């Protein structure tokens, strides 16, 4: 079982009220958040879990996440092909889109009844273009007002460029050699 801890590297500055609608790839902002875990179960099934005290940090402000109301596979540059319609799972309905650069495939709860702190939910994609699934995206509700107004927004974690990963690996090797 592969577990991805979704902790972002960069924070979005100036999140606007339009970020509340996760209908296109551009709706998602990079952010620093903790307490959200995506665990690959098998095939196209994933378990999304929230710790008991998840947080979202934008700039110098930290917000308590009260609900996770959307879960998405994101493609940064390509549309998802084939594009599969997703089945409703509990209160979560299909909210997929290939509008604009990149695509999103996932669910959003309606009427905003999502995963609460300490909870989890299992999602199974009917089909997913895994070659173009660059990262996971989430739609959160927070305690307090986000910059630009509102208390919901769509966020993702930053994905380091391959060159950054290579430099990190080289730094680790250099540290190991220095210890010997």
H-helix or E-strand containing 107?
strand 103-109
Reported as a pLDDT band with limits 50, 70 and 90, residue 149 is confident
Domain limits at 119? 3-179
Q: What would the mean pLDDT of 116-138 be, rounded to a whole number?
A: 91
Q: How far is CA 55 from the centre of its chain?
A: 13
Among 41-55, 91-105, 165-179, the minimum mean pLDDT is found in 165-179
pTM, rounded to two decimals? 0.75
| pLDDT digits 0-9 by tens, 4-33 | 433 332 233 233 333 334 468 888 988 999
3-state secondary structure of 56: strand
Sign of torsion, CA 50 38 12 74? negative
Q: What is the pLDDT of residue 178?
A: 52
Domain count, the chain: 1
Reported as a pLDDT band with limits 50, 70 and 90, residue 158 is low
C-alpha atoms less than 13 angstroms from C-alpha of 57 in its C-beta half-sphere: 13
3-state secondary structure of 132: helix
Q: What is the pLDDT of residue 159?
A: 52
Q: What is the pLDDT of residue 78?
A: 87
| pLDDT digits 0-9 by tens, 87-117 | 999 999 999 988 878 899 999 996 678 999 9
């Amino acid at each position: 079982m592969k577990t991805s801890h979704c902790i972002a590297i960069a924070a979005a500055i100036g999140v606007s009220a339009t970020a509340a609608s996760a209908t296109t790839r551009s709706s998602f902002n990079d952010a620093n958040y903790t307490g959200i875990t995506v665990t690959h179960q098998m095939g196209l099934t994933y378990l999304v879990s929230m710790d008991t005290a998840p947080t979202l940090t934008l700039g110098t402000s930290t917000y308590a996440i009260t609900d996770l109301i959307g879960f998405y596979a994101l493609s940064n540059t390509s549309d998802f092909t084939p594009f599969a319609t997703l089945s409703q799972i509990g209160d979560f309905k299909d909210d997929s889109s290939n509008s604009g650069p990149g695509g999103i495939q996932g669910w959003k709860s309606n009427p905003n009844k999502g995963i609460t702190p300490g909870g989890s939910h299992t999602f199974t994609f009917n089909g997913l273009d895994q070659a173009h699934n660059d990262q996971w995206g989430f739609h959160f509700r927070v305690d307090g007002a986000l910059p630009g107004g509102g208390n919901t927004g769509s966020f993702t974690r930053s994905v380091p460029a391959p060159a950054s990963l290579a430099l990190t690996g080289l730094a680790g090797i250099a540290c190991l050699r220095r210890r010997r």
